Amino acid sequence: MRDQLKNIELVDNYLNGKLSAEEKAEFIKKLENSIELQQLVKTQKELAQAVQRKALKEEIKNIIKKNKGWNNSSKWLLGGTFLIIALGLFLFFSEKSSIKQDNHVRIKTVTDTTSFKADGKDSSIKQNNPVVPPNTTKIIPKPSNEAEIAFNGLSTWVKPDVQVFHVNPVTGATIEGSDGTLVIVPSNAFIDKNNKLITGAVQFEMVEALTLEDMLLYNLGTTADGKALETGGMLHFNFTCLGKEVKINPERPLYVEVPTLEIKKDMRVFEGEIINKKVNWKNPRPLKKYLVNVDFNLLDFLPTGFEDTVKTLLPFKGHTGAFQQFVDSLYYSLLLKKGFKSTKSMWRGDTSISIESISRAEIITATSDVPSASLTSQKINSEALCFGIDPVSIKTIKTEPYSKTFIATKEFAERVIELHKLEKGNDLLQLYINNLSRNMSYVDSLIVKKLGNKNKKIFDAFAAQELTNIKDAQIYQDKLSAYYNKKHKEYKKSAEDLQTELNKKNEVELNQLVNEYKNYINIAKAKQGLINQPALANQLPKGNVATNSSYSFQWAASGWVNIDSYLHLLSKGSEELSMTISNAEGTTEVYQWLNTINNLTPLVQNGQIAKALFPIRNSIYAKDMKNTFCFAISRKEGEYKWFDLRYNPYEIQSVKVVLEPSTLPEIKKKLKMYDIKNDLVERLNKVEEQAIQIQNQRKIQLAEMKKHKEQLKLISIKLEQIKRENQVIEKLRSVAFLCGKAKDDNSIEY
Amino acid sequence: MEDNEIISNIRAGNRNTPIRELYKEFSKIKANIISSGGNNEAAEEIFHDALILLIEKVNEPSFELTSRLSTYLYGIARFLWKNELRKQNKNNELEWSDTLIISEKDIGYDHEREAKLQAMEKILASLSTKCQAIFERFYYKNESMEIIAKALGFSSINSAKTQKYKCMEQAIKLAADIKS
């Protein structure tokens, strides 16, 4: 072995304690006299430490990643499964050992958050980033075998899943529930019973009941003094500071947004009261929707289909991907009346244009022989019939001075898309710009007045949203804006990722994928059981209030709250159907669930008979009844029994309810299946749509390329012809004239 | 999990639970870093480095716990972040509440050595995967050369050893090159 290697070995053995006492003494002696050896010891120590650090860093990253992964997925479907499994185990355990345990098992789920200590002392941590949500703990209920489970007086089938957030009341907070509910807590929102401002940490507890599963298991019916309600979701709030209940300052209420797939009309917000251990909804109040500023680069103001068309025309001017800036600049360069702005100079000066990127127009103008009728007719068309919004206007409004007005909102972007389609779009757009300080709905109705019947509808609907102005949301705006921007960015990112993912696929793979997703959608729609979410759809963010629709309202109370509209199902009389419960035991409850309209009604029981009322046959409401379900649940000494049936109330006379032993996880699975308020279908659709769009774009692109090739062929034939003609002429000239040498002689003579 | 449990686990080489436990401090540290001009990546980096320093400290036989581990971690993170800001010529005052003010001396932080270690980590990454595997097994997982020789398919312990020394020679040479 070479000397250096020997030294390395020696040092290594020394550092690892592998030298005998004599060897060690000898080595140390040697070490004292050799700077070189000393250096080697130092470096080898560093080497070993660096190896350890590098490996440790990897290990840390992996552990954290797994930890995070668990946390993220727990918010989703999988989480439900975990939770259910966990519950099952606890149940088993508690029954076997019959040890009395706490009512709650605390599991920390969201750790990516803390900015505040929950010790009640005022914290001086600066919270510059309002998106950083407060400390979150989730209390996961443990099934108990108590005779009755109750939650603040409400009798429930399981302990509600209470999400706990630690909020700094001085700065306020942005809270996102695991099912997507957004709560903005404005600064200084909490007061004690003497109306004194609370400054110590507030424990903010929230229960979300947005799904059938939660509603039924929390025994939350949707009736208001006997009237049926259609629900958009229910929530429960509770606020404490150092264990004492605190109130919300009515002048600084919470702003709550609940995600929904579609906005139903006439929704109101109801307050819950517990009567005889059941909930009744009272005091309906109108919803209130605030406008939220979003960064311009996250909003789309371009006409529908513009970006997609650009994609099919690529590559163009050296661009191969449709980057936002490029698409924007391309749009801005268009003139409403004259086609393209200084087209010629733009293209001529550009030497970087590759052969593919020469537009059709240029090829046509360069060769007189190619039929150019299509282009000229297009030009004439565009000059004569163009209407819509002048790109210059769009460019102008997407600037800083408008960034804090209602122009920079998702809602305004929706209006711009419609304005693009209108003949006087540009003038109508001006109306919004001229009325920035008015309510958006004011301008909406101005526009309705100026529109003919045909186009009126859309803006009528806009006006009906009764949107106000940015400045109204003052105490919420910063937090809302930060949250919306974050969500929009996430959404944009995931949509782009999806696009990239799909672009990588070839035709065959893309076809396969489209078929696959068609299947998924069918299965999901038919609800033939829960499907495992396919990877691509799973990448898309779950519905949230920023990128989807939402119901929103201000709220300043603890307790239950419900977003509903009255159903007038039975206004024209009713038909009765009786359900006979053959084996009721313990606490039993029978529910009627209408999945088309999200109505859950606990039925009144009289002995073993529960009665359900339905709209009379052939009434307009009867068609909503075709997906009627009867659920029955009972609980005795911690054991659940279950019954479910889907039926058409106009085809049968009575329902015989036979409860079968079941478990909570099974019941939950069934309820998930029957819940149509699931945005999975929407995400599946999105993947399918995007894949089909890519297929179409490719087809168009292929056709364009073929056309280009043909035209290029024509050009080269023409050029070949010209070249040949020139050669002939040259040849003839050389015979006809004295050229070349003779030229010099002549020039001297004259 | 109690602090002494975390410590004994780390010392026994069971780092999974301790890291998960200590990760709970991340959000607080992150919020503080972001509030003084950092971003998510910077926060993650600082947190990883702080955790490594903490684990190294805990593994020292002379380590004695004088405060809560989480407080200690928080203090190290603050120290590292301040250090990072200084490197960027930003001398922000960091008002982290309830923090230990930790000095270089307290954790034996040697700037020169840290720089060298960082350089060495880069050098390691540039070595062959075989070299990296030997190193990781020997220095991190504390496997014997016998096991390593078997696991990595060397014909004998000696050839594995020779390979290890050659890998070390290469790393040492690269380190010397960087220095000059």
Q: What is the average pLDDT value for chain A, to the nearest integer? A: 75
Select from B25, B32, B99, B139 the residue whose CB has the most chain A CBs within 10 Å, as the one to mutate to test that interface: B139
For chain B, give percent helix, strand, coil, nearest 5: 70, 0, 30
User: Is the Cβ–Cβ distance between A181 and A235 less than 8 Å?
Assistant: yes
Distance CA A433, CA A393 (A): 10
Share of chain A above pLDDT 90, in %: 8
**3-class state of residue A521 by DSSP:** helix
Assigned token pair, A580: 């006979």
Confidence of residue A103 (pLDDT cuts 50, 70, 90): very low
Amino acid at A187: S
- The helix or strand, by DSSP H or E, that contains position B134, with its residue range, turns out to be helix B129-135
Chain B nearest CA to A402, separation (Å): 27
Distance CA A87, CA A695 (A): 46
pLDDT for the residue A378: 42
- Nearest by CB to residue A51, choosing from B32, B52, B124, is B124
Could you tell me whether strands A609-615 and A605-606 are parallel, antiparallel, or unpaired per DSSP bridges?
A: antiparallel
> How many of the other CB atoms lie within 10 Å of CB of A141?
20
> Complex ipTM above 0.90?
yes
> Has residue A141 got a pLDDT over 60?
no
Which stretches does DSSP call E strand in A22-119?
104-107
- Nearest by CB to residue A52, choosing from B19, B140, B172, is B140
Higher pLDDT, A747 or A325: A325
pLDDT for the residue B166: 93
Q: Which residues in chain B are contacts of A57 at CB distance < 8 A?
A: 48, 52
Which stretches does DSSP call E strand in chain B?
none
pLDDT for the residue A747: 46
Q: What is the mean pLDDT of residues A217-222?
A: 86
- Nearest by CB to residue B31, choosing from A48, A56, A125, is A125
> Has residue A108 got a pLDDT over 50?
no
Higher pLDDT, A380 or A23: A23
Q: What is the mean pLDDT of residues A576-600?
A: 80
Q: Which residue of A has its CA nearest to B23?
A: A64
Q: What is the mean pLDDT of residues A440-468?
A: 85
Distance CA A208, CA A80 (A): 14
Chain B nearest CA to A62, separation (Å): 10
Distance, C-alpha A89 to centroid of its chain: 33
> Has residue A88 got a pLDDT over 70?
no
Q: Look up tokens 């699975």; give the residue.
A: A669
Taking only the tens place, the pLDDT of each residue in A495-552 is: 888 888 888 888 888 888 888 888 777 777 665 445 666 777 777 777 678 877 888 8
pLDDT for the residue A52: 92
User: How many residues are listed for chain A in this entry?
Assistant: 750
| A520 class by beta-carbon count within 10 Å (0-12 exposed, 13-18 middle, 19+ buried) | buried
DSSP output for A272-308: EEEETTEEEEEEEEE------B--GGGS--SPTTHHH
Confidence of residue A275 (pLDDT cuts 50, 70, 90): confident
Which of A106-115, A454-463, A641-650 has the lowest average pLDDT? A106-115
pLDDT for the residue A739: 62
User: Is the Cβ–Cβ distance between A303 and A418 less than 8 Å?
Assistant: no
**3-class state of residue A338 by DSSP:** coil
- Nearest by CB to residue A67, choosing from B23, B113, B172, is B23
Assigned token pair, A674: 């029957």
User: Is the Cβ–Cβ distance between A74 and A109 less than 8 Å?
Assistant: yes
> Has residue A612 got a pLDDT over 90?
no
Higher pLDDT, A351 or A480: A480
Assigned token pair, A227: 């009237």
Distance CA A670, CA A593 (A): 13
| Cross-chain residue pair A46–B117, CB shorter than 8 Å | yes
Q: Quick one: DSSP state of residue A530?
A: P
pLDDT for the residue B98: 61
For residue A592, which phi and psi values (nearest 5 degrees)? -115, 125
Q: Which residues in chain B are contacts of A47 at CB distance < 8 A?
A: 120, 124, 135, 168, 171-172, 175
Which of A168-182, A320-334, A468-482, B58-72 has the lowest average pLDDT? A320-334
Q: What is the mean pLDDT of residues A641-669?
A: 85
> Has residue A272 got a pLDDT over 70?
yes
Q: What is the mean pLDDT of residues A301-305?
A: 83
Chain B nearest CA to A131, separation (Å): 10
pLDDT for the residue A526: 64
A59 touches chain B (CB under 8 A): yes
Question: Apex CA B108: angle with CA B105 and CA B113, to 5°?
Answer: 125
Q: Which residues in chain A are contacts of B133 at CB distance < 8 A?
A: none
Amino acid at B88: Q
Q: What is the mean pLDDT of residues A27-33?
A: 90
Chain B nearest CA to A406, separation (Å): 29
Assigned token pair, A155: 């009798």
Q: Could you check whether the bond before residue A315 is cis, i.e. omega within 30 degrees of 0?
A: yes
Which of A5-9, A27-31, A148-152, A486-490 has the lowest average pLDDT? A148-152
> Has residue A344 got a pLDDT over 50?
no
Assigned token pair, A160: 């509600």
Taking only the tens place, the pLDDT of each residue in A706-733 is: 888 888 888 888 889 899 888 888 888 8
Q: Which residues in chain A are contacts of B161 at CB distance < 8 A?
A: 9
Chain B nearest CA to A234, separation (Å): 30
| Cross-chain residue pair B31–A5, CB shorter than 8 Å | no
Q: Which residue of B has its CA nearest to A137?
A: B24
> Has residue A692 got a pLDDT over 60?
yes
Distance CA B77, CA A489 (A): 29
| A49 class by beta-carbon count within 10 Å (0-12 exposed, 13-18 middle, 19+ buried) | middle
Higher pLDDT, A581 or A359: A581
Distance CA B126, CA B131 (A): 10
Share of chain A above pLDDT 70, in %: 77
Q: What is the mean pLDDT of residues A345-368?
A: 38
Q: Could you check whether the bond before residue B61 is cis, i.e. omega within 30 degrees of 0?
A: no
pLDDT tens string, chain B, 180 residues long: the values are: 788 888 888 888 888 889 988 988 888 888 888 888 888 889 999 999 999 999 998 888 888 877 888 888 988 998 899 888 888 877 666 667 666 677 777 778 888 889 899 999 999 988 999 999 999 999 998 889 999 999 898 999 999 999 999 999 999 998 888 776
Could you tell me whether strands A278-286 and A334-335 are parallel, antiparallel, or unpaired per DSSP bridges?
A: unpaired
| Cross-chain residue pair B28–A53, CB shorter than 8 Å | no
**3-class state of residue A156 by DSSP:** strand
- The helix or strand, by DSSP H or E, that contains position A630, with its residue range, turns out to be strand A628-636
> Has residue A745 got a pLDDT over 70?
no
Confidence of residue A590 (pLDDT cuts 50, 70, 90): confident
A64 touches chain B (CB under 8 A): yes
pLDDT for the residue A532: 62
- Nearest by CB to residue A124, choosing from B26, B95, B169, is B95
Q: What is the mean pLDDT of residues A691-707?
A: 84
Amino acid at A71: N
Residue partners of A687: CB distance under 8 A and separation at least 6: A498, A502, A513, A517, A534, A536, A537, A540
Confidence of residue A561 (pLDDT cuts 50, 70, 90): confident
Burial profile B115-144: b = 16 or more Cβ within 10 angstroms, e = fewer: ebbebbbebbeebeeebbebbbbbbbeebe
Q: Which residues in chain B are contacts of A126 at CB distance < 8 A?
A: 35-36, 95
Q: Which residue of B has its CA nearest to A132?
A: B31
pLDDT for the residue A315: 67
Q: Which residues in chain B are contacts of A170 at CB distance < 8 A?
A: none
Chain A nearest CA to B77, separation (Å): 15
Q: Which residue of A has its CA nearest to B96?
A: A125
- The helix or strand, by DSSP H or E, that contains position A639, with its residue range, turns out to be strand A639-647
Q: Which residues in chain B are contacts of A130 at CB distance < 8 A?
A: none
- Nearest by CB to residue A47, choosing from B120, B125, B162, is B120
For residue B135, which phi and psi values (nearest 5 degrees)? -55, -50
Which stretches does DSSP call E strand in A439-557?
549-555
CA-based max dimension of chain A: 133
Confidence of residue A743 (pLDDT cuts 50, 70, 90): very low
| Cross-chain residue pair A52–B139, CB shorter than 8 Å | yes
> How many of the other CB atoms lie within 10 Å of CB of A589?
21
Distance, C-alpha A487 to centroid of its chain: 7
Partner residues linked to A662 by β-bridges = A640
* CA distances for A552 relative to A47, A177, A287, A465, A545, angstroms: 59, 14, 6, 12, 9
| Cross-chain residue pair A1–B24, CB shorter than 8 Å | no
Assigned token pair, A307: 């970006």
